[in-house]
Chain A
Amino acid sequence: MKAPFATALAIAIGLLVLLGYFVPMPLLLNLRTILLGWAVILVAVATVVGVINLARVHWNKATRKEGRDIYSAVFLVAFLLTIAAGAVLGPTSPDFQQVVLSIQVPAESSLMALLAIVLAYTSLRLLQRRNGILAILFVFSAVIFLFLASGLLAGADSISPFKEIISILNRLPVAGSRGILLGIALGSLVAGLRILMGVDRPYRG
């Protein structure tokens, strides 16, 4: 087995955290809290390493001899300016946060608007690409639920039998989503067990 120490450590810590969930012993609960705290710190450090890696990739793209990427240069300038402003003013400074948010919020709002257009266009193309019964059902249900959520039936939901029909229709997606989520939960359980058994070892590089 490659990386036996890392594997043994991962399995031991995984089992301790799992025991901490199910066995109500103060020692295990404290140990679980400490280990999860360490994990959160490690994830934060990993994010910093990831951001440095991202900057390095863009540096390579901005400085290569052929096909330089101007957007990578823009990214690097914005990245350095943000770091410098954060270092000088402090990350909790209202001025710094206002500057960052006044760039980030409009940019992300524009992307959301773009996403809405992309999704509307994609929905129109759906029946062109897939013409099976499931695609028709998907579009049909999307129209029905858009209609239900539009508020046009605001008065009808107190009149029988519309009240019962609307109630049944509103429960359908809940039932369907529970089925899908149960499948995902079972898949998650088995994926976690493979890590606990040392079969999947994404940390062995």
Chain B
Amino acid sequence: MTPDQIDNVLGVGLIVIAAVALFVLAVPLRGKVRHVFRVIPGIVRLRRAIGLTVENGKRLHVSLGQSSLTGASAAAGLAALSTLERIANLSMISDRPPIATSGEGSLSILSQDVLAAAYRDGNAPEQYDPNRGRLGGVTPLSYAVGTMPVMRDEQVSANILVGSFGPEVGLMTDAAHQQQAFLVAASDTLTAQAVLYAAAEEPLIGEELFAVPAYLQAGPFHLASLQVQDILRWLVIALILGGIILKLMGINLL
């Protein structure tokens, strides 16, 4: 087998294992099985902030980042859209519906779709306003600058920045800090994670970005996703350790 063929077999194998595990683990969760996951302080505070925001008649702002749906960061955008859907569901009774900003045209349209679907599912389609899913800007800095007035002018008391960001996210965290608004943030890029660790009130690191919808109780498949990620992580660890042992024994498979 050529190295390309080995890559393909490993890739397909990983996808099949993940798909089967996701399905098998999600189906029992449709019942009343309750799974306990580790506490992520940022998400605990986010749940509290959602409740307080609804109680105080303020607004939630979800920033979806700049993922292109045809690019490598598409998954971060999809996780952000799942988060937006769950937040729209949780804040359905609020006087001020949540507002979503994004830095990419397709994400902006999908955010409007997600909000429309959430309000329709909640039997409140009249609450839907297409202007609540906005494009902030199409370049990283214009997106950051276009989002900052939303944080300032729309009576936002909690900001959720979830998606693909660059270092410009520092400007957005500073704007939230100036408004004394709660902020939780997660990104798939290392530069943004470094900035967020220093700048954000509650940064989420690494794959915690993909855990946000599950922790907001988005459904059995999202909960099963976390378990599948753990299984895959152990599988990768085993493969790395196996590779090290084989290398030490002088066996080179690739």
Contact = CB atoms under 8 A, between A and B. Distances in A.
Interface of A: 2, 18, 21-22, 36, 39-40, 42-51, 53-54, 56-57, 60, 69, 71, 108, 111-112, 114-115, 118-119, 122-123, 126, 129, 138, 177, 179-184, 186-197, 199-205
A49 B82 CA distance: 22
16 contacts: A43-B104, A51-B138, A53-B133, A53-B134, A54-B136, A71-B149, A111-B141, A115-B171, A122-B173, A122-B199, A180-B206, A182-B236, A184-B209, A202-B81, A202-B113, A205-B113
Contacts of A57: 131, 134
A187 B105 contact: no
A203 to B, nearest CB: 6
B252 to A, nearest CB: 21
Given A111-B171, A115-B167, A115-B168, 20 more contacts: A39-B70, A43-B105, A46-B108, A50-B109, A51-B135, A53-B130, A54-B135, A111-B168, A118-B174, A122-B170, A122-B174, A177-B190, A179-B206, A184-B188, A187-B210, A188-B76, A189-B15, A197-B22, A201-B117, A202-B113
Given A43-B69, A54-B146, A187-B79, A123 B22 contact: no
Contacts of B228: 190
A49 B171 contact: no
Contact of B105 (A49, A108, A111): A49
B238 interface: no
B161 interface: no
Contact of A47 (B23, B76, B105, B136): B105
Interface centre among A60, A69, A205 (most CB of B within 10 A): A205
Contacts of A182: 233, 236
B207 A184 contact: yes
Interface stretch (B6-14, B51-59, B243-251): B6-14
A47 B104 contact: yes
A33 B1 CA distance: 26
B232 A186 contact: yes
B26 to A, nearest CB: 8
A40 B74 CA distance: 13
Given A42-B106, A180-B190, A119 B170 contact: yes
A46 to B, nearest CB: 4
B219 to A, nearest CB: 7
Interface in B203-227: 205-207, 209-211, 219, 221-222, 225
B87 interface: no
A192 B209 CA distance: 14
Contacts of A201: 117
A153 B199 CA distance: 30
A205 B229 contact: no
Contact of B106 (A46, A69, A184): A46
A21 B7 CA distance: 11
Interface centre among A48, A71, A122, A190 (most CB of B within 10 A): A190
